[in-house]
Structure 1
Amino acid sequence: MNELKDKIAVIYGAGGEIGGAVARAFACEGARLFLTGHRLAPVEAVARDIVSAGGDAEAAEVDALDEQAIDKHLQSVVAKAGRIDISFNAMGNSPTRYLGASLVDMDLKQFSMPITSYTTSYFLTARLAARRMLPNKSGVIMTVTAPPARIGTPNGGYGPSQAAKEALTRYLSVELAPQGIRVVCLQPHGMPETETIREIFESKARPAGVTWEQFSSYLAGMNHPKRFLTLAEMANVAAFMASDKASGMMGTTVNLTMGALDD
């Protein structure tokens, strides 16, 4: 327990299911949390849960695509806490605008939207966090990707956006690892607890006559145990990867697809 005791962690997208789960796992391990999101209300709800359970969390409205907003927030974190130990980017956007669409019929804006938003956010949050970590020669920069980074599915620019994040993880690691900063990402798969999976079902599967049970069975059937990864399982791995016990893990994507993808 308390593998992250006294660590200062900033989480982007903390109001979402993945960001919220990671925040709670970090809090359970003793981290002091600075939670952000594009909308303040859901981030405040996560912070209240953590504080009521005895943890330490503050909420702020920060657009993870706005360089000045990110920088200003990190300045305030350093002013309050003295440093930044962990930066976790869990920013997401709605997939229904591009999933299932034909690349041949897709216009450039629709294709490039997820690539631009995901990579821009990860680059900005990682770069600005790294600048605060370099003086201490210590820190962990993290994000989340998805299996379409490595498999072909009809999802427009979403798969390429996730592949770009995995490549950026390796690039950042090459530069930052000699300075004591680890960069890693997690790759979970098809967690029905997330709004994204529910949204995909409602927009794509249900209109095609597929039931939730059929949809769930299809997703679960892709992995080895024939069940879903839970948010708690994903968040526990995130907490481990952020801890000093994972000091040998860097420049890599942690496969949490439960066997759906072979490395």
Structure 2
Amino acid sequence: MSNEKEKEMLLENKNVVVYGGGGAVGGAVARGFAREGARVFLTGRNLDSVTTVAKEISAAGGAVETAVVDATDEKSVTEHLDAVVAGAGSIDVSFNAIGISPQGLQGIPFTDLPVDNFLRPITTYAQAHFVTGRSAARHMIPRGSGVIMMHTPEPARVALPLVGGMSVGWAAMEALNRAASAEWAQYGVRSICLRTTGMVETPVIDVVYGLHADAMGIPKDQFTAAVTAMTHRKRPTTLAELTAVAVFLASDQASAMTGTVANLTGGLIVD
């Protein structure tokens, strides 16, 4: 038997929707899904960034379609998913990887943080993940299968200063992940969260670490080294590591996993 026949693609014939697909996390995971045979429906609010990722997927031989979708807007999400189902027949995986700019939200003490700035990540993340998760579940439940996925960094669990409402918003996502599983897993719809460290490969972490370093009055390299030293293996999670686990958890091989947080923090958090 040839190597090609021996290696079965994990997501062959799966239809996957990725929100925030033009970002570092969404783009990396989308490329990983496509490599394992999924047909990827790549969405975001910025069509240019989404199109860039889509071209990379197509050039590598993957199947991809793009659309402008605001993950916080119920009408935008539902209309897109209805169109996906009408054309492809199903939604098998929904991965929400949206992010918001940390400017004005992190690196600021609670005593100086405006209420609106504290609430913005909480309401944005909770709303976006509820809207996309619920909309996907409505299509998945009648078929008796599906996976809803999200990603959080370590402040969802670890108490760190100067993170503002971000940590509360990420913790809310993990709570929603558990609640969604409690309601939907009995109908074959799994809910999974992947938790990583800050990933230094991503542009947003470069900004975040800069904000925290400035607030502490230290060089950014020193702050980065201090955060890295908190992990057991003394290095942060990589996009490749996140992508590999996301692909596995989206596949049928992870069918027993739901309502859980996959701990990819390299020992920064010990369960």
**Fold-level similarity (TM above 0.5):** yes
Partner of 1:69: 76
- What is aligned with 1:13? 20
Q: How far apart are the structure 1 equivalents of 2:18 and 2:268? A: 27
1:50 aligns with 2:42: no
1:141 to 132, 148, 151: 148
- Paired residue secondary structure (1:104): helix
- Among residues 240, 252, 259, which one is paired with 1:232 in the alignment? 240
Give, in angstroms, the shift of residue 106 of structure 1: 2.5
1:194 aligns with 2:230: no
**Which residue pairs with 1:215 in the alignment?**
223
2:200 corresponds to 1:167:
no
Give the aligned partner of residue 188 of structure 2: 180
Higher mean C-alpha displacement, 102-111 vs 141-150:
102-111
| CA distances 1:66-122 after superposition (whole Å, capped 9, x unpaired) | 110111110110111001000000000012322122223333211111000000000
Q: Residue 105 of structure 2 aligns with which residue?
A: 98
Q: Higher mean Cα deviation, 89-98 or 4-13?
A: 89-98
Distance 1:207 1:124 in 2: 34
Give the letter for the 1:137 counterpart.
G
The match for 1:129 is: 136
Indicate conservation of the 8 Å contact 2:70/2:77, yes or no.
yes
- Correspondence for 2:4: none
Q: Which amino acid aligns with 2:144?
A: K
Find the partner of 2:88 among 81, 100, 107: 81
**Bigger shift: residues 8-17 or 105-114:** 105-114
Uncovered stretches (5+) of structure 2, i.e. residues with no partner: 1-7
Question: What percent of counterpart residues are identical?
Answer: 48
- Measured in 2, the distance between the counterparts of 1:4 and 1:231 equals 19
Q: TM-score scaled by structure 2?
A: 0.93
Q: Say which SS state the counterpart of residue 46 (structure 1) adopts.
A: helix
What's the counterpart of residue 35 of structure 1?
Answer: 42
Aligned amino acid, residue 63 of structure 1: D
Matching residue of 2:116: 109
Q: TM-score, normalised by structure 1?
A: 0.96
- The whole-number CA distance in structure 1 between the counterparts of 2:215 and 2:29 is 32
The number of residues matched between the two structures is: 263
Q: 1:208: how far off?
A: 5.8
For residues 208 and 163 of structure 1, do their structure 2 counterparts lie closer, same or farther at Cα, with a shift above 3 Å needed? closer
Residue matched to 2:5: none
1:160-209 CA distances to partner (integer Å, 9 max, x unpaired)? 10111000001000100000000010001121011221112333425866
Q: In terms of mean alpha carbon deviation, does 24-33 or 100-109 score higher?
A: 100-109
CA positional deviation for 1:57: 0.5
CA distance in 1, matches of 2:259, 2:59: 35
Match of 2:264 in 1: 256
Deviation at 1:256, TM superposition (A): 0.7
Cα distance in structure 1, aligned partners of 2:152 and 2:27: 16
Q: Which residue of 2 aligns with 1:156?
A: 164
Residue ranges of structure 1 left out of the alignment (5+ in a row) = none
Q: Which whole-Å deviations, capped at 9, do the CAs of 1:11-48 have from their partners, x for residues lacking one?
A: 00010000001001101110000000110111011111
